[in-house]
Structure 1
Amino acid sequence: MEACMSYRNEYPRPQFVRNTWLNLNGEWQFAFDHGKSGIERELYKHGSFNEKIQVPFCPESKLSGIGYTDFMAAVWYKRSVRVPKGWLEQRTTLHFGAVDYHAHVWVNGKKAGEHKGGYTPFSFDITDLLDGEEATIVVYVEDDNRSGLQPRGKQSEGYYSAGCDYTRTTGIWQTVWMESVSSTYVTHAKFKTNPKDGSVAVELYLNQYDRDVTIDLEATFNGKIVAEETAIVAGQSVQSFLHLSEVHLWEPGQPNLYDVTITLKKEENVIDRVESYFGVRSVSIKNKVILINDKPIFQRLVLDQGFYPDGVYTAPTDEHLKKDIKISMDMGFNGARMHEKIFEPRYLYWADQLGYLVWGEHGNWGLDITGSKGLEQFLPEWMESIERDFNSPALIGWCPFNETWDRNGTRQNDQVLRITYEVTKRLDPTRPVIDTSGNFHVITDVFDIHDYEQNVEKFAAKFEEMSKGGNVYVTFEDRQQYENQPYFVSEYGGIWWNPDEKDGWGYGEKPQSEHEFIERYQGLTVTLLNNPSICAFCYTQLYDVEQEVNGLYTYQRKAKFDPSLIRKINSQKAAIEKDFAFAVNRSKE
């Protein structure tokens, strides 16, 4: 087990960094609670758990040291930690990156709090629960992805993985850590950038109001100071502006980023300091095209499921997250749909650093949204996701739901989608929102469809009229209507190819050779690139996941084909990009 101690030691919240923190990953005590009786038995006070687990890996994973893949109604974790002496004069917060699904936390036998939602972070101020330097942390987690009352994403509802559903995740699956802060500190920040005038609207939030407090902001680019500002605190939130002396745009493949230091002072004494970053870029819609910094960039996206052979939901190392983006870019993709899962923050960090476009999506599958109860279960966590990832320049759109199929013959409650869309737009008016990817649209900024037709001629025929400015291809015409939005084929392909996998799963008829695969891939992809009415595609998928063998890479991230072959196809200039270049040249004449 000691060999696993080096896993996931990097700072877990890269857009909001303090240097006073303690990583709690590593070995914890662990126990199953199939009867969900542990709280009644007061295990949080005196429980001694015989199993050992490596956090942050879920007990279903090999890296956890458990590898138990049957259903778990509830599980327990326990660890004792010594709090650094210097922290005792400050406040101490306990952070969880993500715990699936309903977590209860105790410190030294006293309740710290609880959180519902399997994908978003939460924290508790545990200062008053500490016993000197000692902290015994106990976590109890309930998980039932068959209830219809919680989003499960691609976690299988059956005992076995099947089709496009895979191994489940229960309990802690992202970093656990502690942090020391002053009595008054910055809780989070928002950066809203304007590429046209180089201004950055900054919103800062404090845990409490304190008198005689100021905030210094300093932005640098490549180490050079390009903006400074001081704001006087008059409440729990602070509004300020930075005016950049140099404007360097963040764009796909050109990830220009500014570093920013936030310094909180009380009577000139520094009481909090946070390091962050932002990218200057805009996302807008005009003439049925999604623009990035006022330019139509065809989104050549790939579906990324965020699964790992040994870690399931959790990447074994930070380098694995970076590698998934790099291997995608090697094949000429400029972004991904983070599919049916709210990915961990460090994936977005690498997308920001590498200039890689991503769409934020919840893992909504499994949640019953045929009634209003679904909104109650879904919306709080979705709002937490928007707050967590708002500052990522790589994130260019939100997609709360994916393929909202009817459930047991009952249709989706359209108001659940409508309200979620409206809330998303109010929390973040800077990005487009797709209400539900594929079907069934209620109100959406972008009209997207899924189509896994494998015959190139039949596939092309569906989009032929719209390529000439005629009727637009709409799936499920009785349930959704195109209203002149940008058009996005957000799932296609899924070509089944893995000669070594006889019992795998994929879409349509398997090609008989690599040559046939490349021909099919080229035919499907070029059809979309050459259509002036289409502004984006997303190919299914980047890598195989368990039995689903339609990846361009194997589950171990080994390329099935020479990446340059796929890159050559993907890199062809799209029709919308040609039209833009022509219009720019005409304007210069």
Structure 2
Amino acid sequence: MRFLYSLLLPFLCGAAAAQELSLANIPGRRTVSLNGRWNYIVDPYETGFYNYRYQERAYNDREAYWNSDVPDNRTDRKEHGWSNKYTLQVPGDWNAQQPKFLYYEGTVWYRRTFDFDPKGRGGRVFLHFGAVNYEAHVYLNGRKLGSHKGGFTPFHFEVADSALKEKGNNLVVKVDNKRSAQEVPTLNTDWWNYGGITRDVSLVLVPRSFIQDYSLQLLRGSGPVDEIGGWVRATPGSTVRIEIPELGLRQELRATGDSTAFRFRAAGLQRWSPERPKRYRVLLSNGSDRVEDQIGFRTVEVQGSSLLLNGKPLFLRGISVHEEIPQQARRAHSRADALQLLGQAKELGCNMVRLAHYPHNEHTVRAADSMGLLVWSEIPVYWTIDFNSPLVLGKAKAQLCDMVIRDRNRASVIIWSVGNETPVHPARTRFMTELVRTARALDSSRLISAALEVHMINGKHTIDDPLGAETDIVAVNEYLGWYGGLPSDARKAVWDVRYAKPLFFSETGAEALHGFHGDSLTRWSEEYQEWFYREQVAMMKRMPPQYVGISPWILNDFRSPRRNHPVYQEGWNNKGLYDQKGRKKKAFYVLKAYYEEMSRR
């Protein structure tokens, strides 16, 4: 049996999509970290990239910033230079590191030098970036390796053996975070556009014959004895061994030119769940290469209007999360950051997090695996991108594919989301439907969703978004009592759901400035937000049986240039249940009590 992975991927994801040679499980491989202090040059006019005729500079142009800044002699003119007085920490956004970068959107050049131990030669070397926001052009020793668009997904380039030097390799990255109508996300968002090399950078060292990619899943409906199925992609002709020692499982197969499928019985398997996030040590080898992973096995599915995890009804006690550490007003980037955010969610009583509105750091998803938190993972198809553009669709597919490829072996991820609050019209629905079908073709073991539109029809909150016919669950955002009316309006709200599918409220919330107090009618006060949550909880308790959970907006206050009230916002969206300094607001305790009640059912 063969899974035609390499043939299907370009078809599903498009020319701009996931790289031809996928490289799974970077943490499980031999790597050399390139994190640390990098030199930088701020270049708002992109002088290092374009000449004065606005043409891209030739690779050997002496004024191109990817080339040496060292003059050949005293008369040589160089108009760029790298200095240790201008450095930025990688990973990290530039906005939070120096005041001059706070609102900066444009180009910054990064430079890092490194040595390469000749003992590392003899195999293949890949330069891997966890993420760069938004567009990256990468150069090594004066030669361009390639470029990538997408601020929240990983990418890599293979480095030829001859391109590496034993001493003084010169790695330069042009980073551009300007917003554009033809990108994903587009011009208009409600979060901070953090620029920079925001996630880990490393050299990945593999042998000539190596394990490229793999997928292992617990098969739905596999009978009285659980079965694990999947596929592996390795150097053609090599013999691949798959082992799960704790279960006594071992299988060998011959790698083909595409991906080779496998399936085996797993007697005695303990399923992964939020209550018991059991993971197994999985080993894949082919003689010259060995990759180790920690993988949990569970099933998630929809039956009628019920949501099932491991065949049992599941209620999602969720919270939406931005990838941001508010105490430092910066992009989260480390495992410690992930543990802080997910630890807050656990303290709230959550069993699920909605990672909005883009794929979060791999540290976060892996931490969720170990902590037993279910994950909704989303691509930044947000509000008003150009739904008529095939080019934009290709970019959205690319990010979707990269998200699925990176995290498909993480048991915590149960929902792939293809977008948020996109306005209903025929072009949008065709665009979004194509994304849903692409996600399902890439990974049929999970649920596909999006935050859909709600319309008022004859006095009812009507969920009739045509995209709901394609998604596995019906998810909607609602803010009754914040964007219009008062929280008490929830008492008379009538919901008309046109789809016999599980209903999930993917957002709801109200802003409050921590420490500002008044009566419950005083906007921006903690008491108003508290009242809002009391009314929301009461409404949720009246929902029909198809209601399967909620992920209110949001865990922490976060930065947003759209939020400009000089007293209550000052560039912050303050809908968090934790404030900018990590302090709990009064509404936190309302939601926590509701979740404690629901956890006992």
TM-score bracket for the superposition, by shorter chain length: 0.7 to 0.9
Q: Which of 55, 64, 71 matches 2:90? A: 55
Shift of 1:102: 1.7
1:27 is aligned to: 37
Shift of 1:71: 3.3
5+ residue gaps, structure 1 = 1-12, 158-163, 266-270, 464-471, 475-481, 579-589
Q: How far, CA to CA, are the matches of 1:549 and 1:501 in structure 2?
A: 14
- Secondary structure of the 2:170 match is strand
1:229 aligns with 2:251: yes
Write the deviation string for residues 551-571 of structure 1: whole angstroms up to 9, x where unpaired: 111123222349665422212
Cα gap change, 1:395/1:199 in structure 2, threshold over 3 Å: closer, same or farther? same
1:82-161 equivalences in 2 (<5 Å): 82-126=115-159, 127-145=161-179, 147-152=180-185
Write the deviation string for residues 451-480 of structure 1: whole angstroms up to 9, x where unpaired: 1113454213224xxxxxxxx436xxxxxx
Q: Which amino acid aligns with 1:57?
A: G
2:285 is aligned to: 263
Q: Given the two structures, how large is their TM-score scaled by the length of structure 1?
A: 0.81
Cα gap change, 1:202/1:128 in structure 2, threshold over 3 Å: closer, same or farther? farther
Q: Which amino acid aligns with 2:533?
A: Y
1:3-42 equivalences in 2 (<5 Å): 15-18=25-28, 20-39=30-49, 40=57, 41-42=63-64
Q: Which of 381, 401, 405 matches 1:383? A: 401
Shift of 1:82: 0.7
Q: How far, CA to CA, are the matches of 1:219 and 1:298 in structure 2?
A: 31
Moved more, 445-454 or 128-137: 128-137
Q: Given the two structures, how large is their TM-score scaled by the length of structure 2?
A: 0.80
Cα gap change, 1:262/1:45 in structure 2, threshold over 3 Å: closer, same or farther? same
Asked if structure 1 preserves the Cα contact closer than 8 Å seen for 2:327 and 2:582, the reply is: no
Asked if structure 1 preserves the Cα contact closer than 8 Å seen for 2:514 and 2:526, the reply is: no
1:318 is aligned to: 335
Q: Which of 560, 582, 594 matches 1:557? A: 582
2:433 is aligned to: 418
Shift of 1:522: 3.1
Q: Which of 549, 567, 585 matches 1:536? A: 549
1:137-536 equivalences in 2 (<5 Å): 137-145=171-179, 147-152=180-185, 165-194=190-219, 196=222, 197-206=225-234, 208-209=235-236, 211=237, 213-220=238-245, 224-265=246-287, 271-309=288-326, 314-315=331-332, 317-365=334-382, 367-405=385-423, 413-438=428-453, 440-442=465-467, 443-454=470-481, 455-463=486-494, 472-473=495-496, 482-500=498-516, 510=523, 514=527, 517-531=529-543, 532-536=545-549
Q: How far, CA to CA, are the matches of 1:19 and 1:166 in structure 2?
A: 34
Q: Which of 67, 71, 76 matches 1:45? A: 67
Q: How far, CA to CA, are the matches of 2:43 and 2:466 in structure 1?
A: 41
Write the deviation string for residues 30-52 of structure 1: whole angstroms up to 9, x where unpaired: 11121123122321112433321
2:3 is aligned to: none
Q: How far, CA to CA, are the matches of 1:97 and 1:397 in structure 2?
A: 21
Asked if structure 2 preserves the Cα contact closer than 8 Å seen for 1:226 and 1:246, the reply is: no
- Secondary structure of the 2:536 match is helix
5+ residue gaps, structure 2 = 1-22, 50-56, 58-62, 70-80, 455-464, 560-571
Shift of 1:15: 4.5
Asked if structure 2 preserves the Cα contact closer than 8 Å seen for 1:173 and 1:313, the reply is: no
Q: Which amino acid aligns with 1:460?
A: R
Q: How far, CA to CA, are the matches of 1:218 and 1:358 in structure 2?
A: 27
1:477 is aligned to: none
Write the deviation string for residues 76-121 of structure 1: whole angstroms up to 9, x where unpaired: 1111111123102222211000011221111111111111211111
Shift of 1:276: 0.8
Cα gap change, 1:500/1:316 in structure 2, threshold over 3 Å: closer, same or farther? farther
Asked if structure 1 preserves the Cα contact closer than 8 Å seen for 2:227 and 2:264, the reply is: yes
1:81 aligns with 2:96: no
2:596 is aligned to: 571
- Secondary structure of the 2:552 match is strand
Cα gap change, 1:312/1:343 in structure 2, threshold over 3 Å: closer, same or farther? farther
Write the deviation string for residues 403-436 of structure 1: whole angstroms up to 9, x where unpaired: 1137xxx875321111111111111111221244
Q: How far, CA to CA, are the matches of 1:38 and 1:250 in structure 2?
A: 51
Cα gap change, 1:529/1:389 in structure 2, threshold over 3 Å: closer, same or farther? farther
2:11 is aligned to: none
Shift of 1:297: 1.2
Write the deviation string for residues 360-416 of structure 1: whole angstroms up to 9, x where unpaired: 11122363224434212311121111111111111111111101137xxx8753211
Shift of 1:320: 2.1
- Secondary structure of the 1:473 match is strand
Aligned length: 519
Asked if structure 2 preserves the Cα contact closer than 8 Å seen for 1:120 and 1:381, the reply is: yes
Shift of 1:300: 1.3
Shift of 1:255: 0.5
Identity of aligned residues (%): 21
Q: How far, CA to CA, are the matches of 2:386 and 2:376 in structure 1?
A: 23
Moved more, 372-381 or 558-567: 558-567
CA RMSD across the alignment? 2.8
- Secondary structure of the 1:430 match is coil
Q: Which amino acid aligns with 2:90?
A: V
Q: How far, CA to CA, are the matches of 1:337 and 1:316 in structure 2?
A: 17
Q: Which amino acid aligns with 2:550?
A: F
